[in-house]
Amino acid sequence: MAYTTINKSGDYFNTKLYTGNGGTQSITGVGFQSDFTWIKRRDTTNNHRVTDVIRGVTKEIYPDDPSAQDTRTGGLTAFGSDGFTVGDSAGYNANSGTYASWNWKANGQGSSNTDGSINTTYTSVNTTAGFSISKYTGTGSTATVGHGLGVTPKMIIFKNTSSSVDWRVYHEALGNTHRLCLNDTSASTDDDSAFNDTSPTSTVFTVGGSSSTNAGTMIAYCFAEKTGYSKFGSYVGNNNADGTFVYTGFKPAWIMIKQTSDTNQWFIFDNKRNTFNPETLYLQANTADGDNAFTSLDFTSNGFKFLTSNAAFNNGSYIYMAFAEAPLVGTNNIPATAR
């Protein structure tokens, strides 16, 4: 069977590392024009920074902080065909500073989606990759919002960009009654105000009366699972140094893990900061800390396997999101799972 690479050089997702120069710098080699870029300084303490095409360049929000959106003139100043441009802000481009950028492709600024009871200002959709971004104005009353994916999202990350309120995360593995908070360590929490105890559909997601999902100006990042490219799942740790193996069906390029049964960090691993096993360097989505190191797990040809009994990774219940390293897809549109 013939195979074609659908994610070569990151057609839809890619990690790009770079070193700052203290001035203005064009970062290339992403492999596409990103619509959602998440940047973290690695060599010292500094906030995570998220910029997307709908909110616009220089507009930043912070996964580790509940603060409202801010304007950073020295931040990410342009999206380009193969990357992005950054100014002189220390969060993006300090002289000799080291940075990780994680980049996803949607579909430009998009247009209004009218599938829900709230019409979005813009919804940018990449149905092939299962990723969309929606901007909408919350009402404070139970409502639905269109996501444009055409399939049911497995994970949605919400931020009220006009107020200092916590991030909210929906994950299918937790169900519609529970939510997580991206900017802190809290365990899964029962909260009917977040999603009104209602699961997303192939056209809309539901929001309750929470100010974290349905007040002021909102942004929602929606992810649907695509076989061989992305996976949004859960696992139970075995509390053993010969740790749990988690099957994804592909070799991961990037994963984020969160313990849901207890308080713990959001851990991020990628294949650019760790170019061989074991995966040791990690960043934490909910803290401003730079790179830390711990012998945690291996990326395998079809998933990831833990090498520790540490409760951060392998002693309790967990959710994860994962993206593939250049999956190969056959002429029948079914990805290969081996390398």
pLDDT score, position 10 = 64
Residues 161-184 have a mean pLDDT of 98
What does the pLDDT look like over 199-255, one tens digit per residue? 999 999 999 999 999 999 999 999 999 999 999 999 999 999 999 999 999 999 999
Does 338 have pLDDT greater than 50?
no
State the pLDDT confidence band at 175, using cuts at 50, 70 and 90.
very high
Q: Say which range, 25-39, 241-255, 278-292, 323-337, has the weakest mean pLDDT.
A: 323-337
Closest of 85, 135, 147 to residue 109, by C-alpha: 135
* Residue of 338 and 47 predicted with greater confidence: 47
Residues 143-147 have a mean pLDDT of 98
Percent of the chain with pLDDT over 90: 93
Q: Please write down the HEC assignment for all residues of the chain.
A: CCEEECCCCCCCEEEEEEECCCCCEEEECCCCCCCEEEEEECCCCCCCEEEECCCCCCEEECCCCCCCCEECCCCEEEEECCEEEECCCHHHHCCCCEEEEEEECCECECECCCCCCECCCEEEEECCCCEEEEEEECCCCCEEEECCCCCCCCEEEEEECCCCCCCEEEEHHHCCCEEECCCCCCCCEECHHHHCCCCCCCCEEEECCCCCCCCCEEEEEEECCCCCCEEEEEEECCCCCCCCEEECCCCEEEEEEEECCCCCCEEEEECCCCCCCCEEEEEECCCCCCCEEEEEEEEECCEEEECCCCHHHHCCEEEEEEEECCCEEECCCCECCCC
pLDDT score, position 2 = 42
Round to whole Å and give the CA distance between 1 and 183. Answer: 45
pTM: 0.94
pLDDT score, position 118 = 98
Does 87 have pLDDT greater than 80?
yes
What does the pLDDT look like over 287-314, one tens digit per residue? 999 999 999 999 999 999 999 999 999 9
State the pLDDT confidence band at 3, using cuts at 50, 70 and 90.
very low
State the pLDDT confidence band at 20, using cuts at 50, 70 and 90.
very high
State the pLDDT confidence band at 53, using cuts at 50, 70 and 90.
very high
pLDDT score, position 4 = 40
* Residue of 6 and 108 predicted with greater confidence: 108
